[in-house]
Amino acid sequence: MDILLLQTDPATEPSANIAAGYSGPVSATNLGTCFSDVARGRLNHPAVATRASCFSYRWIARAADQVRRYLSSRPKHVAGARVALQLPNSPEYVAAFYGALLADCVVVPLPVSLEVRRRTQILELSQPDVLISTPTDFNAPQDHSAPSTLRLAERSDSQDSLPPPRRKNHDLAMLLFTSGSMGTPKGVMLSHRNLLANADSILRELPIRSDDRALVVLPFCHAYGNSILQTHILSGATLLLDRGLAFPSSIVESICDMEATSFSAVPEVYGMLLKYGRLGERPLPALRYMTVAGGELRHDLAEEIARRIEPASFYVMYGQSEATARLASLPPQQLHARRGSIGMPISGVELAVMDESNRELAANAVGMLCARGNNVMLGYWRDPAATADAVGTDGWLRTGDLAHRDEDGFFFLHGRASLLVKVQGHRVHPAEIEGLVEADFPQTAAVAIPTARGDETRFVLFLAPRDDRPIDVEKIRAACQKELPPYKQPVHYEVIERFPLTSGYKVDRAALAHLVPEISGGRRAQPDDILTQSP
C-alpha cells in the first residue's frame, strides 16, 4: 500500500482557468463526472468554507484533478483499485474523494480517530492500493512505505486532458465500513448509481438550493455525512466547516456567524443543543431547516427543536448505510400529528413491513422494515452470505429495524431485530466490546448491555468468571480504554457470579438490562429532564 499525504498551500491563488482534464461528455452515470460538471458551472462559488478561508469549486476541481493524475499515473494503476481516505472533514477530503472516483478508483473512507485494531481489519479486508491522508492526520500503519507528498492546487501549466472515467452505473464507487450483525466490520458496497440515486431522492425531499450554506458536524466518512457532502456539492452549494463544534453553544454561534442555512446532526447532538446550547434564544435569520437521522430522537425533543427554530423547518429522517444514506422523511408539518414517526419513503424508495417469509404485512402489524430502490447497496464486500441475508433476490433490503406502517402510510420504528445499537450515530454491536475482552482475558465472560445515560446510549459491561481466578476489573477497563474508541468504552463495569440464562441456555440480556439502572448510578433521563431547562 502506498501512502499519499496531501498538503495545502495556503498561499495558492486560484488560477483563471480550470485545470484541463474534464473533456468527457456530460454524464449522469459517474459521480466524479457529475462533480466536474457542477464545478465547471460554479468555478468561483465557495464549495467549502471555514471562518478563515474559502475553497472555491475551481480549487476543489483542480485539487481533485491533481489527485486523479497522481492515482492514474501510478504504474500499477487499475480501474476498481481501492483508495483509503484518512482525512477529517476538509477541502482535502472533498478533493480526494472526487479525484479518486475520476481516477476510476473505489473510495474507502476511514474515520480519522479509528482504533488501530479496527483500521487494520478494514485495511486487510479492503486491500487499498493507496492510503491518502495529511501530514497532521497521518497515523502510520505497520509496514507502510515511505509517503509521497502532493501539494494541492499549486498553479500548474496546462496539462493534457484526460479521458473521461470509465466506471459508471453499477460499478463500485465506495466501500463504507460499518458494524455487521456479528460485530465484525462489513464493507457496504455503494455504486455510482446508488450514490447518485440517493442524492437525487434527498434533493427532491429537502429544500437544498445552490446558494445554501450547510454547517457540517457529521463526518463525511459516515453515511449521513457523506449524503450531506454529495447533495450539497451536486447542488453547487457550500459546506461550512468550523472548529470547536463540540460545544452546543458554539454550534449555535457558528450557525449565526457563518450564516448557515441548514444543519444536520444525530439525536445526541440535538439533546445537547437543547440542554446546553440555548437554541432559540438568538435569532438565526439565515437558517431554513435542520435534519436529524442516525438514530431515534425522542418525540418531545423533536417537537421542542421544531418550536425553537421556527420559522425554519425540522425534518426527522431515517436511513442506513446499506441504503446509501436515507430512506424516509417526515414532512415538518406532520411532526406533531405523527408522533414518533420516521415519515414516508423518500422519492425513488419503496418501504414495506414484512414477515419472516418476506410477505408484506397489513397496516399496524409490526415486522421487518424492508426497503427497495436504486439506493440499495450492491451488497457486502466479499461476503455473499451476509449479502444474501440482507438483500433478497427481489431487491428488498432487510433493514434489521422492526417497524409498523399506519393506515396513511407513515412508518414507525420498534427497535432493532438484532443486538446492534446506535451510539452517536455509530452502529455498535455488543460483540465488538465482548470480543475484545474475551480475547484478552479468556478466563472472563463478558456481556455488554446498552444503557440510557442522559439522552445518550452507552454500554455497561457485565463480567463473570469462567474459573476460580478473580476478575481484575482495572486491567479490563485499561484494555478497553486502550483499544476501543470512547463511544464504545463501557461507562460501568459490573462483576457478577454468573449470567442469567434464558430457557434456551443463552445469556439472558433482557434480565441483565433490568440490573442496569440500579448499578449505573440510576440517573436515567427523566422525560422532562431537558425541557425544564427551556429558556
Contacts with another protein by CB under 8 A lie at 88, 113, 115-116, 243-250, 268-269, 272, 275-278, 424, 453-454, 456, 477-478, 481-487, 489, 491, 521, 523, 533
Q: One-letter amino acid identity for 265?
A: A
Q: Write down the least CB distance from residue 192 to another protein, Å.
A: 32
Q: Write down the least CB distance from residue 308 to another protein, Å.
A: 13
- Nearer CB in complex with another protein: 140/363: 140
Rounded Cα distance between 267 and 265, Å, is 7
Per the DSSP assignment, residues forming a β-bridge with 46 are 56
Environment class of 146 (CB within 10 Å of its CB; exposed 0-12, middle 13-18, buried 19+)? exposed
Residue 245's CB is within 10 A of a number of other CB atoms, namely 16
- Nearer CB in complex with another protein: 464/479: 479
Question: What distance, in Å, lies between the first and last C-alpha atoms of the chain?
Answer: 54
Q: Write down the least CB distance from residue 482 to another protein, Å.
A: 6
Q: Write down the least CB distance from residue 88 to another protein, Å.
A: 8
Environment class of 390 (CB within 10 Å of its CB; exposed 0-12, middle 13-18, buried 19+)? buried
Enter the C-alpha cell of residue 451: 444503557
- Helix axes of 31-41 and 223-234: crossing angle, nearest 10 degrees: 40
Enter the C-alpha cell of residue 311: 420559522
- Nearer CB in complex with another protein: 139/364: 139
Q: Write down the least CB distance from residue 18 to another protein, Å.
A: 33
- Nearer CB in complex with another protein: 487/499: 487
- Nearer CB in complex with another protein: 184/489: 489
Report yes or no: 377 and 397 within 8 Å, Cβ to Cβ: yes
Rounded Cα distance between 119 and 108, Å, is 11
Label each residue of 67-122 as H, E or C: HHHHHHCCCCCCCCCEEEECCCCCHHHHHHHHHHHHCCCEEEECCCCCCHHHHHHH
Report yes or no: 139 and 45 within 8 Å, Cβ to Cβ: no
Where would I find the beta strands (DSSP E) of 147-194? 148-152, 172-179, 185-191
- Nearer CB in complex with another protein: 245/515: 245
- Nearer CB in complex with another protein: 41/486: 486
The secondary structure element, H or E, covering residue 458 is strand 456-465
- Nearer CB in complex with another protein: 169/250: 250
Per the DSSP assignment, residues forming a β-bridge with 427 are 422
Handedness of CA 361, 365, 368, 373 (dihedral sign): positive
Q: Write down the least CB distance from residue 276 to another protein, Å.
A: 4
Q: Write down the least CB distance from residue 250 to another protein, Å.
A: 7
- Nearer CB in complex with another protein: 465/485: 485
